[in-house]
Chains A and B, each alone.
Chain A
Amino acid sequence: DGGITQSPKYLFRKEGQNVTLSCEQNLNHDAMYWYRQDPGQGLRLIYYSQIVNDFQKGDIAEGYSVSREKKESFPLTVTSAQKNPTAFYLCASRWGNTEAFFGQGTRLTVV
């Protein structure tokens, strides 16, 4: 089955800890995106990548980091510098100017 897989579905982070969210796609898409969703805020863009080894900051990149070493993978690290990380995180991918597809999301909670 082709698609986008995000893992884990639920993640708990202690104060001061870095955590990494996984996003893998087997659609052969060039572009990949990370969004954060908070109640009433809609989707806000964290980082996006058009090609391997290249990525751009979105609107709320502070406290996050990404890498794009392989076309199919775009992991997001939530660092201890992100003071309010509790949110629903969504990954998407797209080829050219065609349809974007989303994963099922990771819900991150600070404990």
Chain B
Amino acid sequence: KQEVTQIPAALSVPEGENLVLNCSFTDSAIYNLQWFRQDPGKGLTSLLLIQSSQREQTSGRLNASLDKSSGRSTLYIAASQPGDSATYLCAALTGANSKLTFGKGITLSVRP
């Protein structure tokens, strides 16, 4: 059974810092890994998708990497801003039935 872990549960940084959010998964036979952002009381917004054959994806100030062999993915946020404050979740797509399994998320606070 796939298990996805995100540590720490919360993170507070000053504005302007570059930061890395970690995601680990136990079953390396994934189809893809996806990073999402969730604002309080809202649904999930997709940030980046990395297919199993890819090593990284970039969108603006965001860069996500994937290392299947070690069961890890990281989301790099450059020059963080207060507007980046949200919960960031990663999800792994695994198995014949294409089950999407989530970590518990990292709540990020960027202080002005």
Contacts and interface: CB of A to CB of B under 8 A. Distances in A.
Nearest to A104: B43
A8 B42 CA distance: 14
A42 B98 contact: no
The prevalent SS among residues of B at the interface is strand
B100 A94 contact: yes
Nearest to A97: B31
Main secondary structure of the interface of A (DSSP, over half): strand
Interface residues of B, number: 24
A87 B43 CA distance: 13
B11 interface: no
B51 A105 contact: no
**What band does the interface of chain A fall in when counting residues whose beta carbon is under 8 Å from B?**
20 to 34
B105 A103 contact: no
Interface in A49-108: 50, 56, 58, 88, 90, 92, 94, 97-105, 107
Contact of B43 (A31, A45, A50, A90): A90
Contacts of A35: 102
A110 interface: no
Nearest to A4: B43
Contacts of B32: 97-98
Contacts of A97: 31-32, 51, 93, 98
Interface of B: 31-32, 34, 36, 41-46, 49, 51, 89, 91, 93, 97-105
